[in-house]
Amino acid sequence: MLANAHAYLLEIERAGREFAESVKFAARLGQQRPHVIALMGCDTRLDLGDADGALTDIETALDIIECTGIQRFEPWCLVFKARILDARGQCGEALALAKRAVEICRDTGVTFLGPMALGSYALLCRKEDEHLAAFEEAEALLARGCVSHDYLYFCRDAMEASLAASEWDEAERFAAALEDYAREEPMPWSDYYIAWGCALAAWGRGDGSAEDDLRRLLEQARKVRLGMAVPALERALADA
């Protein structure tokens, strides 16, 4: 949890070290549930650019989950494994994993990871009707009340999915939803992604004045090593 807190403060390298220490400590103690939770820092390893290490952690976590039956953590692992495979061009396998993550959430308690899994599915499916249906289902769940990471990760992935589909208004709507959710307790992670979504939407709409914001956000992402924010910014600026 300390590592998670540092990740949300955009202290990504520190978070990565703390997740790694937690993995070793939990494994040495033979505590399987804490071991899986520590391995769920795989997204921080992705931000740090270590996709191979993240995939190793994910596979280790999935092995423990299979042996122990603590299936409610499985969707988290599947979501980030799907992102890795998608980035490597294994799009069909990635989408199948994202869909499986959603199905497991429906079986194990959809308010724990359901909206997050639906956001990932929307990002990877690249079909307008399917990603809009995923948005609708996730937003209905969030309105009923879910765990905090669902609001954060869903809004981020929904922004990215909307941007990829050139749905600039939708991207801004999800940025506004993230801002509203984090209003009482804002943090660097949410502040960054709110600005990220709005700047990319403005640029996509043809607002040339957003270029400075994109360059500033790219510089910041590289500095703090928020790697998952970088590709969309690089793609946008390639057209500058």
* 182-192 residue pLDDT tens: 999 999 999 99
C-beta pairs of 63-72 under 8 Å, 24+ apart in sequence: 64/32, 64/35, 64/36, 64/39, 65/36, 67/32, 68/32, 68/33, 68/36, 70/32, 70/33, 70/36, 71/104, 71/107, 71/108, 72/104, 72/108, 72/109, 72/112, 72/113
Average pLDDT, the chain: 96
Contact yes or no for 45/54 (Cβ under 8 A)? yes
CA 119 to CA 177: how far, in whole Å?
14
Can you state the percent helix, strand and coil of the chain, rounding each to 5?
85, 0, 15
Query: Does pLDDT of 126 surpass 90?
Result: no
Could you tell me the pLDDT band of residue 219, with boundaries at 50, 70 and 90?
very high
Summarised one tens digit per residue, pLDDT across range 44-59 is 999 999 999 999 999 9
